[in-house]
Each structure stands twice: as C-alpha cells, then as structure tokens.
Chain A
Amino acid sequence: MSKYLLNKFLFTVDRDPELVERYREDPRGTVEWWEAEHANRLLSCHGGEASTWLRFEDAEREALAGHDYPRLFELGAHPFLTLTLFIAMFERDHEPMGFQTEYARRLAHMTMPYPDIAT
C-alpha cells in the first residue's frame, strides 16, 4: 500500500498546469512516465538525492491510469487532492457544479467509515 505515493502523484500533477493537461489527455502514459521519472524525486532536492524505494502497487497504478476517482477514494487517496485535480481536468466538460454532483453520485456506494486516509 502506497497511499503516500498516490497522494504525491495527485499533489505534484495538480500544481503544474502542463501536467494537469497531460494527465487529462494521456492518463496511462503520464502515470508511467511519472512513476519512472518522478515518483522517487525528493521534493526540493536535486535528482542525485532521489529516494530509491517508491513504486505504485498495481491497483493504484490502474486507478490512476483509468482516471478512476471512486477507486482512488477506496484506496485511501486523500479526497481533497483527488477532488481538486479531477475538478481541474473535468469540470470544463459539464454544466456548473455538474461534475461535482456527478462525482458525489459515483461515490454514493461508499458508507461510513470511509477508507482510512492516514499515510
């Protein structure tokens, strides 16, 4: 389980306008590229000081590659990060607030207690 790495992906993509568009257009390619090139990057450090041990589990990689935000919720990704990034990618395709209500509807099967988001 690498909830931290899921969150790291969502966090680093969400704050980069180019990556937001790249992930929207090519989710699987972006996830594979990011895992190879950036997953181990220690933020604010140069590449020579990257970590060596971070990788997605298969289910996590598939959820990201499939833009599967209900699955990300089930896997314990931080809901604020997921929501913010997916609004950035897909709100434009819907009526005002339409994507947000669709998002809630697609999570309607989730009951309390929600998956643990502690990392």
Chain B
Amino acid sequence: MAELVAVIASTHHPFYYRASTATGEDRPPFADEWVRKVEAFRETLTKARPDVLVMVGSDHFHQLWLDNMPQFLVGKAPFYDANWYNEEREFGLPRMFFTGQEDLSSYILREGLDAGFDLAFSNELRIDHSITCPIITLRPQNDLPIVPIYTNIFAPPLPRPKRFVQFGRTIRELVESWPADRRVAVIGTGHLSLELGGPRQFGPHGPDPEFDRKAVEWISSGDIEGCLSEVTLDSLHLPGNATHGFMDFMLMMGVAGEGAKADYVDTYDLFHTMEAYFTWYPNGGVA
C-alpha cells in the first residue's frame, strides 16, 4: 500500500514568485524574510521524500465556469499545462508543465465515487496558481507527478464546511489504500481571512486578524470540531469576502485527522493577507 508521508496546508500567495525573484529596487522589503520562511517550509516536504503529490486547490474561474461548475473535480490526465494568461499578466507567473499520476487519479475517482462523493473529472485540465504556487514554494524543481483536485470555494452554492472535512478524510483513506508502493504527500492550499474586490481589500494586514489567529489555532491543534462549531458558509462572509477559501484548509484538517497537531507551523503577516504554513507527518515522524 501507498504511504501518506506528509500532509501540508498552505496559503497560495500569487505574489511570492515575483517578490522572491525580484532584485534591486524592485525587490519588496518583505521578500527576504518571506523567502527564508518558505525555504524552511519547503524543507518539511523535502524531508518526507515523497514520490507523488496530491494537490488540492481551487480553480479561479479559469477552466471551470458557471455554465458547468463542479463542486469537487479530480484531474485525470497524463500531463497538465499550467498557469493562465491573466496570471502571467497580473502576477508574473511562468508557464509550467506537470506530469500526472494517472493511475492514482483513476483510483481516487473510482473509490471516491464508491465512498459517496460524486466526483467530476477532467482529462484535459490547465491548472492555475492555487496548485502552481505551492509547487513554486515547496517543490520548485517540479520533478514529481501530481494528482490535481479542485474544490469549489468560489461560485455559490458551495458545499458546506463539513463536506470539505469529510472529503479530506476520504482523500486520506484513498491514498492509504492505494495499492502502490509509493510515498504520497497531500498538499492543499487556501486562505485565511481575505477580501478581494471589496472595501477591505489590500489593507495593511489581513481583513480579520482575530479570525486568522483562531484559524491558525484550529489548524495547528487539529481542532476540527471546534472549527466546525464556529465556521459556516454564512460566517465565512464576515472575515472577508474571499474567506471561503479557508474551507480548503478545513479539507486539509480532515486529511490530517481530528486532534492531529501540526508538526510544523509558521505564519507571516503580510499586507492584505496572512501567510500560513502547516505540515503534519502522519506516521509520527519522517522515516
């Protein structure tokens, strides 16, 4: 059976690539510390020596659109092109190319359907920065095959938070029952409090530091029940109008498990959003 060697939850800040590669006067004052934090976070994945990455993110109206919107979608393709014109334009992200772990995609689709998740699939998926950003931060050599999984945190009606947690638990069960002698890491990205296109956007820090503080506590302590007791589709409007992306963190809490304390926690308070990085080693340490 496959082994789940690391569970990683992260924000996916699209400006990291540009900030970390900028030089001279173009380099923002927060870049050096940000790079230091990201490189330390990267080491937590490197140490786990994964063979395959399951990548959980959310399409930002790139390929998935309102005429045909899935709630949960699994990419099943031998390859994936990545990043879109408007991400190059706004964030300076490079075009990227990935190899798919197609047999694991098939397994997750078949077994996921049988486990009660009516998963959509895509045989030709161009992935966006919700998945390419964590590759840039955590695995810049981009040398591992992936299974991309998209969630809808973007276009209501959305699944409820509990469903994200349940799907995370199921992803873990499926990875751990995959009959292949491979080391798998599951990496998911979302947001803490975030406002985009509203009056609270691009402030000196995230729109709701108190929500961010509680969110980091829920995630780092694995307090799924506490989190679910306070977080609803309605409540997520309050910390910022794009905060439903926090449900991808809740999905990753489901992968890590109830009460699972993160083995690595770091945050970085940037203008307009707080970065947050978490790693769990499910089997108690890095073998």
Q: Enumerate chain A interface residues (CB-CB to B < 8 A).
A: 4, 7-8, 11, 14-15, 17, 42-43, 73, 78-84, 87-88, 97, 100-101, 103-105, 107-110, 112-114, 117-119
Assess the B237–A17 pair: CB atoms within 8 A. Answer: no
- The docked-state distance in angstroms from the alpha carbon of A14 to that of B242 is 19
- The docked-state distance in angstroms from the alpha carbon of A79 to that of B157 is 16
- The docked-state distance in angstroms from the alpha carbon of A36 to that of B62 is 24
Q: Which residues of the other chain, A, contact B198 by a CB distance below 8 angstroms?
A: 73, 79, 104, 107, 110, 114
Instruction: Indicate which residue in A8, A14, A103 contacts B201 across the interface (CB closer than 8 Å).
Output: A103
- The docked-state distance in angstroms from the alpha carbon of A82 to that of B61 is 12
Known: A103-B197, A104-B200, A110-B199. 6 other contacts (CB 8 A): A4-B66, A17-B89, A79-B242, A104-B203, A105-B199, A110-B198
Q: Which residues of the other chain, A, contact B86 by a CB distance below 8 angstroms?
A: 14-15, 84, 88
Instruction: Indicate which residue in A80, A109, A118 contacts B197 across the interface (CB closer than 8 Å).
Output: A80
Query: How big is chain B's contact interface, by range?
Result: 20 to 34
Assess the A100–B90 pair: CB atoms within 8 A. Answer: no
In the assembled complex, B144 has its CB within 8 A of some CB on chain A: no
Assess the B156–A117 pair: CB atoms within 8 A. Answer: yes
The residues in B between 148 and 166 inclusive whose CB is less than 8 angstroms from any CB of A are 154-157
- The docked-state distance in angstroms from the alpha carbon of A117 to that of B153 is 13
Assess the A80–B65 pair: CB atoms within 8 A. Answer: no
Instruction: Indicate which residue in A80, A100, A117 contacts B60 across the interface (CB closer than 8 Å).
Output: A80
Q: State the Cβ distance, B236 to closest chain A Cβ, in Å.
A: 12
Assess the A88–B154 pair: CB atoms within 8 A. Answer: no
Q: State the Cβ distance, A19 to closest chain B Cβ, in Å.
A: 11
The closest CB in chain A to the CB of B272 belongs to A100
Q: State the Cβ distance, B170 to closest chain A Cβ, in Å.
A: 27
